[in-house]
Chain A
Amino acid sequence: MTVPGTQQPRFEAAAPAAAAVPLVEIRNLRVQLPTRDGVVTAIDGMDMTIGRGEIVALVGESGSGKSMTALSIARLLPPMARIASGEVLLDGVDLLTLPDAEMNRVRGARIAMLFQQPKATLDPTSRVGDQVGEALRFRRGATARLAWERSVELLGDVGIPEPQRRARAYAHQLSGGMAQRVMTAAAISGGPELLIADEPTTALDVTVQAQILRLLTAMVREHGLSMLLITHDLGIVSTVADRVVVMYAGKVVEHGPVSQILSHPSHPYTEALMRSSLLIPNQHGRLYAIPGGAPRPGEQLVGCRFRARCQYADALGIAARCESAEPGLHVCESGHLCRCWAVEEGLIDVQPTDPIRRRVTEETT
């Protein structure tokens, strides 16, 4: 059975980065939020692309601006947020300047979202089959009957047992894992080109996390979608993503292919984040923890934003430099960008075998 506009796959599952024109291109995006303590710049000059058929992971701590980036793409920012500058191009069309009615047609049909709390995202008063079929009815003009039949089919595709019966269930009758499967079915029902998944497995059990990640990857590859996966868990990045974008305090600090970032992270923050994620103690039984905390929103930042927590600036004797001027995104290898003075000036090599990297790693463990 086919519903107009949902023939799949839409694109050949293109090899990552092979496509010439990216599906999504974010240029110099700045998002500001008014707070009690003044205007906070949540995203400060963001540039990134998502290729067709590509899975990009956006990694960072809470408050780094990763969820704001997702909401900016879908134009679902809270009302008080202000986009100070920038463009979000979908197939070359700037979404930020689209009239509301047109943007409404983009959501669900071309861009779909998955959130952290699947049960909170589902409408408790309507059957899940109706919710899965919403995008078909309201974006693709399918009849209620056709939408229902397709919903049942999709629920089966996402691994829900007895989809006929389950389509009649309400959100409260589902477990967290089942609810996230339903949300996945709802997200792909409109035949979108981009799936934005904001911490889709954070609230789930580890055993279910593995199932959902496998499902998401399969759906994205099978339907030739692009996916922006937002997560603070570097562990899930390696199994899923093609490329990784690391954000810190509203800025992209490192950006590159997943294999390079995870095998030899260049930016001191990425390196520290990976070390602290592993939870492997040193010989004194202590875990490596990044010292201090992320800058508070609204804090006046001069120079490198990670300076206060960075162990390289002192080790290399370039603290004055790091404190006075902010480094730009520097190309360290093809397709691998890093925002760090030490890397840009060649004071530390990207390889973990670099003697200074080694020394700092040993001193801090």
Chain B
Amino acid sequence: MTAGAELPPPGTPPAPGIIASGPAAAGRHPKAAAGRPFVVMENVTKHFPVTGGSFLGKKEVVHAIDDVSLTIREGEVLGLVGETGSGKSTLARLLLRLIRADSGRIVFDGQDVLAADRGQLKALRRQMQIIFQDPFSALDPSMRIGQSIEAPLAQHGIGDRASRRLMIDELLAKVGLDASFAVRYPSECSGGQLTRVVIARALALGPRFLACDEPTSSLDASIRAQILNLLVDLRDQLGLTLVLISHDLRVVRYISDRVAVMYLGRIVEVGSREEIFEHPLHPYTQKLIAASLPERAGEGHGILQGEPPSPINPPSGCRFRERCPLAVEACKQLPPLELARPDHTVACIRWQDAAAQW
């Protein structure tokens, strides 16, 4: 599809800072409003060279992302799942151009991310933010919480010191922390509190898009639910579009409107939450669901054997075929991502058989 043609021109940038509160009246599931393609990836590929390869030998590369196309709709929460090394984190970093794609096209609200110059990129970054897994290492231990939250505001020249102080208090309140946290150091906070701080910092510039890379996986179960509730509230209040990366399918099932499943650098299945969890069509998705939500799987879904093969020399054709119980000779050809059911695409030539055994 040609995303650029059907995308409206870039919307007016939101007002600086947290004053931008977005469509406040957005409902719990603003899916009705969602739907406009907001962030579009087309045939994006990213390979990382392997350092220390043999002299004169063929240069080896890690196939981190291979020919990935994905559309994130405005206002939705897209859950991105897959095992370690499947490329989920690389994908998020590519979207924000924290790393550059080798080829393909990435469009953010009509604007080409890969072609953006320095100034345009800086403006883009105000609208797209990311939070990482470990809140302890994401904050400078020698900076007070308030200073950490102020840093992006100062960087983008928003407000003066006095007005920024007010913004910090407001941001802290938004994530459920009182103003006294501004003078604390990270070592004086719990993991759950630091996660809230990291979210507050990401919201400082009033972004419209937030990528969350395993936001709750270092947290205790009791705190995890608090953070997920907070993310949903913020999405509703601020009209954010979210990409949530997680290997925990319970988290993804709760928070996502749509789910994309990755395996070894490729997207193997995309669909609405109901479609993915009720009618998983890719054998890999089925195994993932069976492993993390045993109550969801039917009889006879044993645990997935082995581990993903090396992304340096991925199998030809379907990359899952070596671990797949349904693999046949034809799987040596690359399966296309095809529309199998409404709002549900899958890259597996045997999805009908997979569906029958679920």
Contacts and interface: CB of A to CB of B under 8 A. Distances in A.
B78 to A, nearest CB: 17
A276 B83 contact: no
Nearest to A279: B250
A279 B303 contact: no
Contacts of B83: 205, 207-208
B59 interface: no
Given A205-B84, A285-B28, A214 B303 contact: yes
Contacts of A290: 222, 225
A277 B220 CA distance: 9
Given A62-B191, A279-B253, A281-B254, A207 B287 contact: yes
A176 B84 CA distance: 9
Interface string A230-263: 0011100000000000000000000000000000
Given A61-B220, A279-B251, A286 B304 contact: no
Given A287-B254, A289-B229, A207 B222 contact: no
B192 interface: yes
A211 B251 CA distance: 21
A178 interface: yes
A335 to B, nearest CB: 25
A356 to B, nearest CB: 22
A232 B220 contact: yes
Interface in A200-218: 205-211, 214
A42 B293 CA distance: 34
A209 B291 CA distance: 9
Given A206-B288, A208-B307, A232-B220, A285 B29 contact: yes
Contacts of B253: 279
Contacts of A62: 191, 220
Contacts of A61: 220-223
A279 B220 contact: no
Give chain B's interface residue range (CB within 8 Å of chain A): 20 to 34
A293 interface: yes
A289 B225 CA distance: 5
Interface in B208-243: 220-226, 228-229, 232
A354 B106 CA distance: 56
A175 B191 contact: no
B247 interface: yes
A62 B221 CA distance: 10
A289 B226 contact: yes
A165 interface: no
A296 B184 CA distance: 15
B311 to A, nearest CB: 12
B120 interface: no
Nearest to A286: B229
A232 B221 contact: yes
Given A177-B307, A289-B226, A293-B192, A276 B221 contact: yes
Contacts of B232: 285-286
A279 B307 contact: no
A90 interface: no
A243 to B, nearest CB: 20
Contacts of B222: 61, 272-273, 276, 289-290
B316 interface: no
A279 B228 contact: yes
A27 to B, nearest CB: 28
B244 to A, nearest CB: 13
A232 B29 CA distance: 31
A231 to B, nearest CB: 10
Contact of A207 (B192, B223, B303): B303
Contact of B229 (A208, A272, A287, A293): A287
B248 interface: yes
Given A61-B222, A232-B220, A279-B225, A207 B251 contact: no
B325 to A, nearest CB: 14
Contacts of B305: 211
B80 interface: no
B285 to A, nearest CB: 12
B357 interface: no
A206 B250 CA distance: 11
Contacts of A233: 221
A207 B29 contact: no
Nearest to B289: A206
Interface in A259-292: 272-273, 276-281, 284-290
Contacts of A176: 84
A206 B248 contact: yes
A209 B292 CA distance: 9
B113 interface: no
A206 B232 CA distance: 24
A277 B229 contact: no
Contacts of B247: 205-206
Contacts of B221: 61, 232-234, 273, 276-277
A293 B195 CA distance: 13
A276 B191 contact: no
B192 to A, nearest CB: 6
Cβ-closest 8 pairs across A and B? A289-B225, A290-B222, A287-B225, A289-B226, A61-B220, A279-B250, A277-B221, A206-B292
Interface of B: 28-29, 83-84, 190-193, 220-226, 228-229, 232, 247-251, 253-254, 287-288, 291-292, 303-305, 307
17 contacts: A176-B84, A205-B83, A205-B247, A206-B249, A207-B287, A210-B303, A211-B303, A214-B303, A273-B222, A279-B224, A279-B254, A285-B28, A287-B228, A289-B226, A289-B229, A290-B225, A294-B190
